[in-house]
Structure 1
């Protein structure tokens, strides 16, 4: 599996016309403004910082950082033993190659701004001791930018609760060895994390969820690699997203497995596109405990979702929504699990979910005990704590899908049970020559309550990033499933 953080080198530096300047707040703030405005790219920003002399102040960070300050790389790390606050209006700038060592329980609070722009050769290290973790690095102001920054050894590695009118951008970062959560988003918005690696160097049983959000909006999680989890730990857990705000986007990530869920969306409408999810299932299915039931993409409550071009393999249930949720599933491939798609009520009398399925391929989804085919299950009887009384707990509109596991085919035009003839190309399941999935899809995109322009954008490329043929607002000749045949 490719690691996104090392996929491409940073851009070459542009020519610098201005002198590097002094180590004072005004000059540092001017550099940050130039970076924000696009006048300096990441390497240009790093080059400008390299030309500034060290201020020579002690390596122990003070409790109050009242003015903009630059932390340059030194032979020994900067240290924080208790709590430090960066004041409103001040910027903590960390140069590539610098290291900040946080003592047990230490808390770095950014009321101003944080700019930590590392490089391939010289990442920025913000670290504690996993056995005695620091409390958190908390973003309460902004905007903030973190690039090639490595966090490890904290209770909550990074917390964002900044106002919704500012943003945080994280790219090509790493997060490892936390206790509670790697990234905690609380009542924040305009937060993006891209092309980063999370939990790869952490034991699967160590630490809680990877990304957790409560009452957040306008979150972009794209192009990241998520390490395996064990126990009651989702990889991404988004809850109670702010109504009326832009939906979160969870796009083009790779998830390497777990016992609970890859993407859990409780009371959180979202766009979910082009993710590779595999191996989310409990280690011991004979002992059903808590909510550890191995879901790929899951959710709960009165929400709308558009889920496109995801490849989901080997999960206990690939996609599962309950209690009034309204997922729209388009061009997904769900194979080799125990349940393909389940819509259900967690308890008798809860609102029934309603799903839409168009252009999907489901195959080899078999009950782990009986081997019975389970491409679509419209009840929650498969988990003992859910509604065990009602046989039908949801409604489904489905057309132009392949349900090839061998069971009953859901009603709907052009639904079929044909073998999709998937073959592995670069380890991806692609419809082979003569496959009934080829050129068989409904070309008209369906968005439900979501903006149709967004759904067209999502469908314009397949899971592998290959462009689909488009005419107007449609995709004539579109294949079924997440991956177009060459």
Structure 2
């Protein structure tokens, strides 16, 4: 907002704007930083800028763009004057009413553990930049509080929570160094006036101290270098002080200048294993002195250790160097009981060697870590780095001694599964030249990310300001109320970020939603799918840790961002995975021993995702094809072959076990006896139960009635009331959107078998009801002008000689839950005679009907009109439909597999009628038989129409069209391969002649794959094919002749917009002479096809169409 409106008092405003602004070199500096008020109120934060130049500076267009964000308006800063930029101008005015030079109301807040503040000018160039911190040179090394009988070392800074500010001491020297900053004398700092810590003569700043070589041998002298900055280096005296570990006094060496600001001194070679402590002191010409590092006399300063051993190539080497006194104290802590231990940290040096580079970090903190693992012989360590000098962006790492290879793999597998997890890698750890880790660690440790803000910044770079909670031994996901106090108790939810804020609202809102059945509220508080994937990873890892994910509490973390406030589950403690404990058959669903997770996972829509992720992960990330290379790459370099093989074996067996536990089929159990293919129930009430496909199903319906559902077992159960007769109970498994994923039927007979026959001829229109089963023992005629109506759910039984002969009209229309049953009479054997239609011009309809155990040609249609809808045949392997001069429409019906028979055979279409097959499923057949063998429909009259049917193969042809014109669209044909002794070839579609009539077929948008030939065009046939996919023809896609038979050649083919790929040949048995003499014409346009003949056409291409997953998915991928 404009400064003149709110931020400046009138008098100082006039002073600012009356001065003439200049574009002088950078002279406006960050002079004071108040980042952590005593009461933790971010509204009381401020940054003070000061113009140390001799000319006024216009701040118009300037910004603070790191740390916080603030854009300056038309402000001019006079020489030797300051401007306070306040987080909240109104609050600042309350606390500092006398300060007039104020602007502000910035966006964001200053970090409590340090960060970079950057000031840029109107051109975008950096005018000043300061990275402040709370440790190292920005703090004092002091003894910590007593903990378990030990105190250890900590960093303390009054500006880091004590309510003081940071003040620049000497503005003529760089403000980029902590040694030029000091804590304000007074609380709340000195905004608007001279800094209380300002000095005209600053003690020399000692920077960049390092010893070399980092790991000297006993023959190596060690050179210590330092960079020294002062107002004037003339007269500055630099001294190196060192002593051998255990000595009381330091030796002194003068440091000689080795560069403009560089000074060096050399320590003579020392004995192998010797620890050397040293520090640097500088005094200027006016007597101002500084020693670095600044520490109490009993606190180790800078350390190095002599080591003559040669470390073989391998994993990164992490060296910890401690004085004997401090290492003895650490060992003493290690001897305490794990439940009464201490987190007191020792002070030492850390030397990292990897990738040909060695890094040295001084003044680190080292302590023991872990809980029960502290009782083990090999202890885990926590290494803390001063936050002004992080190591590889880390201010801390954990060095874990428990099954490091399992932790490294566990972390990687979580991340390969697309889930967050702290990074882990195996390293070699030396402490005072002693290699840590025994045989059970394979002499390695796991270097892990601690749960802190640095991990969050790496894991969630775009949303890293939220709250991270580590769940302790009492953190069972139970809602404990709205107040933060119970959550902050020890062993509950330890805040690992923003700990200074007593704000647990994101956690309480999440736990409240988790404890309720309000799924809409829960969706805003957790990514349920990610949680289920997380639990699935634990189960595939075989995690045996006592933790939340195995039904207990603790050993997990939660993160809620500020942009995405949903609580993310983060794994912690992955040392008990991959068979390091437990076996390959640990049960699934262990997390449900936790009440909160049990309630969550009892919801079908949640459980199905757990099942899904188990299967998905077992078949991808945890499959041998993907996991074994990961094991080799990550841990194969340091593990013995036996352990690598054990890991692979465990993972394979665990995945196999997990997959075996996933219900995949829809099953139906009745507990009833079965005869003649049916269950029999004396009671009108029957209990059905079973399992459903666990990875997709969330509900089961039986005849439209929702069954009880038990998600952890994917089991269902319900009671159904039966009608007398045969009840075909439809069992549907449904997904979360209500779509069918599987179906089964249970055929249950209830009541006595019928004994009274219905006679042999109807004399009037009749309705057969579902009240009781009916019996037909002889052929029963439905005469002309008489209608037989069969009600939904009716059962009609036929004796061996029984059949229906329809000359009038048949209306047998059931529905999905009340299908009509036509079957042989109970207790009889052999087929019955089926249904015949003769000269019936009425609209005969057969819908939702099951034909059981019919004889050959269960449906015979002569000069009649019949519509079939949702019809199925059971218990038959012989011919199903025969027709002559009929109008026949068949939709949504299922044709079973047959043996040496044809599903449909016929000739001729009734005048004014149709021959339509739509959305049907055709099973296979065998021998020299086709699926449909039809003849005799020619344009302009009615022709065969095939829409959206699925053909599952056969041993001859799919459609054998002799003298039959056809429109074939949207169908799928596959698995047609010759398995007979004839001289003909096999094709999904074959043309031929019927008398003098040839076949002219239109083939549009069909998918052909895995056939001997997709189309056989012969005997004067014509083909119009557009937008089809011809894939994987074993011999050829389109054949124009049969080589073993003397046949008339076809007339020609027009191919437009088709895809030919993966066929042995795209066009086969087409003689070039036929095209040259124009006996056969061939037009090819806009297709993906290999050039094999001299056809007429253009815009064709021979290329890979890039199918998504042929042949199952022939969608085209981008590109």
TM-score by length of 1: 0.66
Which deviations, in whole Å up to 9, do the C-alpha atoms of 1:427-468 show, x marking residues without a partner? 32112211xxxxxxxxxxxxxxxxxxxxxxxxxxxxxxxxxx
Q: Does 1:433 align with 2:1100?
A: no
Corresponding residue number in structure 2 for 1:195: 892
Matched, 1:151 2:851: yes
Give 3-state SS (helix, strand or coil) of 1:65's partner. coil
* 247-256 or 293-302, larger mean C-alpha shift: 293-302
CA contact (8 A) 1:345 1:351 kept: no
Between the aligned partners of 2:1061 and 2:1117, the Cα distance in structure 1 is 14
Cα distance in 1, alignment partners of residues 883 and 1084 from structure 2: 35
| Per-residue Cα deviation, 1:244-287 (whole angstroms, up to 9, x for no partner) | 4222211100111211222221100010000011111134xxxx
- 1:294 pairs, out of 983, 986, 989, with 986
CA deviation string 1:28-67 (max 9, x = no partner) = xxxxxxxxxxxxxxxxxxxxxxxxxxxxx98412111121
Is 1:240 matched with 2:936? Answer: yes
Could you tell me how far apart the structure 1 residues matched to 2:790 and 2:981 are?
A: 44
Which among 98, 103, 115 is matched to residue 799 of structure 2? 103
Residues 378-412 of structure 1: CA deviation (Å, up to 9, x unaligned): 349xxxxxxxxxx99844221221125xx736633
Q: How does 1:60-99 map to 2 (within 5 A)?
A: 60-75=757-772, 77-99=773-795
Between structure 1 and structure 2, the one with the greater Rg is 2
Structure 1 segment 37-56 matched on structure 2, within 5 A: none
In 2, the alpha carbon distance for the partners of 1:271 and 1:122 equals 34
> 1:188 is paired with a residue of what secondary structure?
strand
Take 1:263 and 1:291, find their aligned partners in 2: how far apart are those partners? 18
Question: Is 1:424 aligned with 2:1109?
Answer: yes
What residue is the counterpart of 1:213 in the other structure? 906
Asked if the contact 1:357–1:399 (Cα under 8 Å) also holds between the matched residues in 2, the reply is yes
Instruction: Answer whether contact 2:938 2:963 (CA < 8 A) is retained.
Output: no
Q: Are the aligned partners of 1:398 and 1:413 in contact in 2 as well (CA < 8 Å)?
A: yes
- Could you tell me how far apart the structure 1 residues matched to 2:1015 and 2:1111 are? 24
1:80-479 equivalent positions in 2, closer than 5 A: 80-128=776-824, 132-140=830-838, 141=840, 142-154=842-854, 155-163=856-864, 167-178=865-876, 180-189=878-887, 191-199=888-896, 204-206=897-899, 208-216=901-909, 218-241=914-937, 244-283=940-979, 289-290=981-982, 293-301=985-993, 302-338=998-1034, 339-344=1036-1041, 347-348=1045-1046, 350-366=1048-1064, 374-379=1065-1070, 394-403=1080-1089, 408=1092, 411=1095, 412-424=1097-1109, 427-434=1112-1119
Is there any run of 5+ residues in structure 1 with no aligned partner, and where? 1-7, 12-56, 367-373, 381-390, 435-486
**Structure 1 position 126, deviation (Å):** 1.2
Distance change >3 Å, CA 123–CA 213, structure 1 → 2:
same
The separation in 2 between residues aligned to 1:392 and 1:264, in whole angstroms, is 26
In the superposition, relative to structure 1, how do residues 242 and 108 fare at CA in structure 2: closer, same or farther (>3 Å)?
farther
Task: Call closer, same or farther: CA 1:117–1:220 in 2, change over 3 Å.
Answer: same
Q: What is the rounded CA distance, in whole Å, between the counterparts of 2:874 and 2:1094 in structure 1?
A: 43
Asked if the contact 1:64–1:86 (Cα under 8 Å) also holds between the matched residues in 2, the reply is yes
Partner of 1:172: helix, strand, or coil? strand
Alignment CA distance shift 1:292-1:180 (3 Å): farther
CA distance in 1, matches of 2:1054, 2:801: 48
Whether the aligned pair in 2 keeps the contact of 1:187 and 1:214 (CA below 8 Å) is yes
Distance 1:323 1:161, change over 3 A: same
Unaligned runs of 5+ in 2: 1-700, 705-753, 1072-1076
Give me the whole-angstrom Cα distance separating, in 2, the residues matched to 1:303 and 1:104.
40
* Structure 2 Cα separation of the partners of residues 337 and 350 of structure 1: 23
SS at match of 1:181: coil
CA separation in 2, counterparts of 1:270 and 1:414?
Answer: 28
Question: Does the 8 Å contact 1:343/1:353 carry over to 2?
Answer: no
Instruction: Compute the displacement of 1:168 (Å).
Output: 2.0
User: Which has a greater percent of helix?
Assistant: 2
Give the C-alpha shift of residue 226 in structure 1: 1.0
Deviations 1:187-216 (A, max 9, x none): 112x211111111xxxx4536111222112
Contact 1:231–1:292 (CA<8 Å) still a contact in 2?
no
Between the aligned partners of 2:1051 and 2:824, the Cα distance in structure 1 is 44
- Please state whether the residue corresponding to 2:767 is helix, strand or coil: strand
- 2: distance between equivalents of 1:119 and 1:180? 26
Pairwise CA distance, 1:162: 3.2
Residues 107-129 of structure 1 show CA distances to partners (whole Å, capped at 9, x for unaligned) of 31001000011111210011238
* TM-aligned CA distance change 1:318 to 1:335, over 3 Å: same
Contact 2:900 2:928 in 1 (8 A): no
Tell me which residue corresponds to 1:40.
Answer: none
Cα 1:89–1:257 shift into 2, 3 Å:
same
Contact 2:1051 2:1081 in 1 (8 A): yes
Assess, with a 3 A threshold, how the Cα gap between structure 1 residues 121 and 59 changes in structure 2: closer, same or farther: farther
| Cα distance in structure 2, aligned partners of 1:58 and 1:128 | 13
How much has 1:300 moved relative to structure 2?
0.9
Larger deviation: 351-360 or 303-312?
Answer: 351-360
Question: Take 2:810 and 2:1092, find their aligned partners in 1: how far apart are those partners?
Answer: 56
Secondary structure of the corresponding residue to residue 991 of structure 2: strand
1:170 CA displacement: 1.5
Measured at CA, do residues 410 and 177 of structure 1 come closer, stay the same or move farther in structure 2, by a change above 3 Å? farther
Deviations along 1:119-150, one digit per CA (max 9) or x if unpaired, are: 11210011238962223311221211111011
Superposition deviation, residue 345 in structure 1: 6.1
Residues 171 and 337 of structure 1: CA distance in aligned 2, closer, same or farther (over 3 Å): same
Question: What is the distance in 1 between the residues matched to 2:954 and 2:805?
Answer: 32
Q: Distance in 2 between matches of 1:73 and 1:340?
A: 51
TM-score normalised according to structure 2 size: 0.30
Check conservation: 2:984, 2:1042, Cα contact below 8 A: no
Displacement after TM superposition at 1:424 (Å) = 2.5
The equivalent of 1:445 in structure 2 is: none
Cα 1:256–1:85 change in 2 (3 A) is same
CA contact (8 A) 1:261 1:296 kept: yes
Alpha-carbon spacing, 1:9–1:342, altered in 2? closer, same or farther (3 Å) = farther
Q: In structure 2, what is the Cα distance between the partners aligned to 1:115 and 1:304?
A: 35
| Matched position secondary structure for 2:1040 | strand
In the aligned structure 2, how far is the partner of 1:397 from the partner of 1:59? 66
